[in-house]
Structure 1
């Protein structure tokens, strides 16, 4: 019944969105208020995710045997990495085969990237990873993503030959209204600054939870009250989430309606991206079938006995476009299937944070699609993007 109401909410949202587009003029205020119920729904769900993940991971880590915990982490990490690689490979293969970018317009527009910004390097990516896995503030890591930003200094004015009157332009990076870095640099010289952006870093959250869980386990009797508090917090938050999820059909309805009325030329958008959308759907379908085959080969069980217990999480993820908010439904599905709570409470948030095979398929497909639109094709391009 819950899934049927979500589907009904999706259909009603499309109807409201397309209906409002028929009005002679849709004001910005109307767009804001149509989207408001959906925005509030997502906000209250995200409000509960952090305490739910933190409390569950702490309790599970504290109760797990260190040797078993290590094995579970290793197996989960290997599976997540392989799944992400396979997802990106399927996305690249489908886009290279269907070639949606060569069926649309040719030649891309010139980029408007800031010439003073340097493209991120492999070193920057790994630096960002470590900065977010090891946060310096438990609260900040729940809503800020830390990373490196490279900029180029503007100019250098040189006076006399001995350089005593050399004046270097002050190079500063302003992000989120806060001055992050300042210094004197020569013209053309890149400098790196630590930036922060308003997006959650659940890698840091999981690391902190694991650390606290291990510490609570090592504290013995003194750690018991803390673990009891975390277990109680998990139960309370789960009940709160269950109450918020009752508003899913309404939230989804207005999310879709708001998204539709905000698109200026929806027919033109679908016409330009039609084959790309088909390509992504094909890639996701292939990935889904492959996942089912892996499950059948690995467990020798009927996958159609498992799918009904996970449909609610899938629909919620589709409606909210967020894997994190589906964690409570994943817990419920795993419990219904008889999966040990110690296993599901640790692996589910880890997979929801790191496992992005569907996203990898879409991102890789989208990158190659843009390359095809720009007439930058060839096996070398595909390999580099993959």
Structure 2
């Protein structure tokens, strides 16, 4: 009989790790050494969380101290090296984690439940991103961060200009092209992007050469996670359809997945040290932060307030509405991935620790978490949608452009749709703002203002992004459990009906005079049987 445990309100199958956790929880409830034993138990259970949060705090202090030393650019690079190593480790694990977890997740769920869970996931991602976009636009019109800041420009702050000349239509076509990569191996490190060249189309009547802007395809550095996610899902479903022939390959991906999670558990112990230097190096590299915050303070405030409202109120309410469980007890098990998200500014880099913590601390079914979290890290960008909408309205106010209802609707739809294709990397959302600005006909030359403070806003953005993914996994786990419970009850009812039917048949056999007479004949002597025959 398989043992069952309960973690954070979720029932999970018993395993070595969960049994250990339950034992630790029992020790916590019934401490053996009084206050000292209780404190030791608490520290042992939450050691990684404490170390990770301490890493951020120590990093801030260390950054302040080193900043006053006036390091050269080369010395700053050396100082940031341990943090860079953490990012490299986390990025190294993304490809095998995404591909293997999605293949094994899609193969372990039957096609009907896969379709239902996929539908619920898509609806959840779409609705939460639309709500996030709405919050962003509303806050931008209430706080009005760009009003009165018309004198603010990139030259005043000494910023480099950001060029973004991509057409909106081409941006969405690139999204569709990246869904179906022409080369899977190349998709592991390159994405498709449209560029333009001017082609001479002849002369006009004055003899002036006429040029036309013609789009052509190029490859840009950066993993095409969207294409890999779609391929892995479809490949997992195909393996399931093969039946016995596909079993060996499914076992291979399952084993690969488990081995990757072991690597993740090792990397997680390096996270506190790496985070300390990541945060410290960001503080050392900061330009004149006082000038930036005073100039763009209202924009930063509006963005962070939007993230607090969405992440602290809207998403927990949605989770509670579906599950009737305390969302904050669920989120309390995810402090390590949230801290990683805050330090790295990358949804993709946070994915390994998120999968591990959601499964071990919150007891979410492996099939659910490994299927939905890689998809969420790619397509669910609630935090990005908020700051992109605020940035678009901010730039409109900066240029004294009055936005009509049609343009506001365009901002909402474009932010929701284009956040799907936003790269889960630091500053990945800036290019998406360019798409929104192009869609509503605003200049993109003020984008460098966003880039100047992106390192501040991007931290809360990434935390909200990964929180949305985690709560989505929790909701799907709850729905899946309810479905399984219903099936179990139906099976029990069928079993009861079968038992009753069997009992009725037996009763009829016992009372039937014909059967009684036949049984009496069978009990008689062979001579009697012969005479009857």
1:129 aligns with 2:155: no
Q: 1:181-215 CA deviation, whole Å, 9 max, x = no partner? A: xxxxx733110111221122211111121232123
- The 5 A counterparts of 1:1-386 are 1-23=47-69, 25-102=70-147, 104=149, 106=151, 108=153, 118-122=165-169, 124-153=170-199, 187-288=210-311, 289-335=313-359, 336-380=361-405, 382-386=408-412
Q: Is the 8 A contact 1:127 1:147 kept in 2?
A: no
- Partners of 2:94 and 2:336 lie apart in 1 by 17
- Partners of 1:284 and 1:78 lie apart in 2 by 21
Q: Is the 8 A contact 2:188 2:223 kept in 1?
A: yes
- Partners of 2:92 and 2:307 lie apart in 1 by 29
Aligned-residue offset at 1:113: 7.0
Q: Greater CA deviation, 103-112 or 197-206?
A: 103-112
Aligned-residue offset at 1:14: 1.8
Q: Is the 8 A contact 2:102 2:233 kept in 1?
A: yes
- Partners of 1:364 and 1:328 lie apart in 2 by 29
- Partners of 2:342 and 2:362 lie apart in 1 by 22
SS in 2 for 1:301: coil
- Partners of 2:83 and 2:187 lie apart in 1 by 25
* Greater relative contact order (Cα < 8 A, sep 6+): 1
CA, structure 1 residues 102+268, in 2 after alignment: closer, same or farther (shift >3 Å)?
A: same
Structure 1 length as normaliser, TM-score? 0.85
Aligned-residue offset at 1:48: 0.7
Q: Is the 8 A contact 1:316 1:326 kept in 2?
A: yes
Aligned-residue offset at 1:216: 1.8
Structure having the higher Rg = 2
- Number of residue-to-residue matches in the alignment: 358
Q: Report the structure, 1 or 2, having the larger helix content.
A: 2
CA, structure 1 residues 27+296, in 2 after alignment: closer, same or farther (shift >3 Å)?
A: same
SS in 1 for 2:131: helix
Which stretches in structure 2 are left out of the alignment for 5+ residues?
Answer: 1-46, 413-533
Aligned-residue offset at 1:51: 0.4
- Partners of 1:118 and 1:300 lie apart in 2 by 47
Aligned-residue offset at 1:53: 1.5
Which stretches in structure 1 are left out of the alignment for 5+ residues?
Answer: 169-185
- Partners of 2:386 and 2:66 lie apart in 1 by 33
CA, structure 1 residues 2+273, in 2 after alignment: closer, same or farther (shift >3 Å)?
A: farther
- Partners of 1:333 and 1:241 lie apart in 2 by 11
What root-mean-square deviation, in Å, do the aligned CA atoms of Structure 1 and Structure 2 show? 2.5
Structure 2 length as normaliser, TM-score? 0.63
- Partners of 1:128 and 1:138 lie apart in 2 by 16
Aligned-residue offset at 1:341: 2.0
- Partners of 1:247 and 1:343 lie apart in 2 by 27
Aligned-residue offset at 1:290: 0.8
Q: Is the 8 A contact 1:144 1:197 kept in 2?
A: yes
SS in 1 for 2:184: coil
SS in 1 for 2:192: strand
SS in 2 for 1:188: strand
Aligned-residue offset at 1:235: 1.0
- Partners of 1:263 and 1:350 lie apart in 2 by 33
Q: 1:284-333 CA deviation, whole Å, 9 max, x = no partner? A: 11112011111122222222321212222222211211112333333334
Q: Is the 8 A contact 1:141 1:202 kept in 2?
A: yes
Q: Greater CA deviation, 327-336 or 141-150?
A: 327-336
CA, structure 1 residues 20+339, in 2 after alignment: closer, same or farther (shift >3 Å)?
A: closer
SS in 2 for 1:101: coil
